[in-house]
Amino acid sequence: MKTRAAVAFEAKRPLEIVELDLEGPKAGEVLVEIMATGICHTDAYTLDGLDSEGLFPAVLGHEGAGIVREIGAGVTSLAVGDHVIPLYTPECRQCKSCLSQKTNLCTQIRATQGKGVMPDGTSRFSYKGAMLHHYMGCSTFSNFTVLPEIALAKIRTDAPFQSACYIGCGVTTGVGAVVNTAKVEAGATVIVFGLGGIGLNVIQGARMVGADKIIGVDLNDDKAEWGRRFGMTHFVNPKAVEGDIVQHLVALTEGGADYTFDCTGNTTVMRQALEACHRGWGVSVVIGVAEAGKEISTRPFQLVTGRVWKGSAFGGARGRTDTPKIVDWYMNGKIEIDPMITHVLTLDEINKGFDLMHAGKSIRSVVVF
């Protein structure tokens, strides 16, 4: 079949809207009509050539919601007409990782996902006879896409696609990092570095679990109002701090935070986030994705004295199990999504979404097909 899609033909070049060829689903696969897709900073990072796994040409996009239009042989858990969220972190419920119950990082199809192909090693996308790569196993910047059954979460049909798509990455990543990874408790002190599409969801997650002090840190003063809107109690712009930012935050939290979260992808900030944790028990969670070649460092003494450095992918959420529950949280008013969707675009306007993100003028841009 044919499908309209935004294609990244090369790094650092705007996406091109073209009509592609899409092969139908093979055994264990599902054809999905994408109804809406968010633009996450990770898409921009890959398009900018900063991802060590980045492949071109590719159909990017990993934050979508849509409808099952066709199922391949052997698919049993989904039917035509089901509403779904594509999962870049699938859940096979059979691999060592899934069975361990210690991680959400299913390993069943991770190798082929990283190579930009389906589990059988081939791509379903082509343009003028040449193969295009899938991206993060999702490729939601295409009106139609094919995914493995284990990489789709079935969700309730009354959830609007325009909001539900954000649960496919940003919302789950931020709220999940609080609930699943850090397990923040009521009364805790939390610092969030980077108040974008992910950081604001960490803030609302911290509010949801009853954190007392929620400090937001961002270089962009415009983000202060955004943070307050979702539960932030204090705002710090490092540019306005005289002296050392870590000392400033440690003083503000009377010895350091119980939990800190990096939502910037900047390795210097990741170190600051660790060092702003309380001696003896503070936990710092790395959410931000750093560019290829970057490394983190700190004095080992920071860890010897009880601070803990952790990472979180997709908020520690088990895709097929947890994502439908987060949709319920949204539908029941436990979490907010709509105010964070600052821009709704057509597929033809998708590059504008990247420009708005780089200019710090959007929280989430969503493309509606």
Task: Round to whole Å and give the CA distance between 314 and 176.
Answer: 7
Regarding 348 and contact with ligand AHE (CB under 6 A), the answer is no
Regarding 34 and contact with ligand AHE (CB under 6 A), the answer is no
**Residue 52 binding: pick among ligand NAD, Zn ion, ligand AHE, none (C-beta 5-8 Å cut-off by kind):** ligand AHE
CB of 59 to ligand AHE, least distance (A): 16
CB of 350 to ligand AHE, least distance (A): 17
**Residue 199 binding: pick among ligand AHE, Zn ion, ligand NAD, none (C-beta 5-8 Å cut-off by kind):** ligand NAD
Regarding 169 and contact with Zn ion (CB under 5 A), the answer is yes
CB of 158 to ligand NAD, least distance (A): 26
CB of 50 to ligand AHE, least distance (A): 9
Regarding 82 and contact with ligand AHE (CB under 6 A), the answer is no
Placement of tokens 């980045």 in the chain? 54
Q: Which residue of this chain has its Cβ atom nearest to ligand NAD in the complex?
A: 196
- Look up 40 and say whether it is catalytic: yes
Regarding 175 and contact with Zn ion (CB under 5 A), the answer is no
Q: Give whichever of 231 and 265 is closer to ligand NAD, judged by the CB atom.
A: 265
- Look up 41 and say whether it is catalytic: yes
Q: Give whichever of 257 and 367 is closer to Zn ion, judged by the CB atom.
A: 367
- Look up 336 and say whether it is catalytic: no
Q: Give whichever of 169 and 215 is closer to ligand AHE, judged by the CB atom.
A: 169
- Look up 42 and say whether it is catalytic: yes
Regarding 322 and contact with ligand AHE (CB under 6 A), the answer is no
Can you tell me which of 141, 144, 261, 314 binds ligand AHE, judged by CB under 6 A?
314
Q: Give whichever of 51 and 275 is closer to ligand AHE, judged by the CB atom.
A: 51
HEC string for the chain: CEEEEEEECCCCCCCEEEEEEECCCCCCEEEEEEEEEECCHHHHHHHCCCCCCCCCCECCCCCEEEEEEEECCCCCCCCCCCEEEECCCCCCCCCHHHHHCCCCCCCCCHHHHHCCCCCCCCCCEEECCEECECCCCCCCCECEEEEEHHHEEEECCCCCHHHHHHHHCHHHHHHHHHHHHHCCCCCCEEEEECCCCCHHHHHHHHHHHCCCEEEEECCCCCHHHHHHHCCCCEEECHHHCCCCHHHHHHHHCCCCECEEEECCCCHHHHHHHHHCECCCCCEEEECCCCCCCCCCCCCHHHHHCCCEEEECCHHHCCHHHHHHHHHHHHHCCCCCCHHHEEEEECHHHHHHHHHHHHCCCCCEEEEEC
Instruction: Indicate which residue of 29, 37, 46, 63 is catalytic.
Output: 63
Instruction: Point out the residues that are catalytic.
Output: 40-42, 62-63, 92, 95, 98, 106, 110, 169, 364
Residues near ligand AHE (CB under 6 A) are 40, 42, 51-53, 89, 105, 110, 169, 289, 313-314
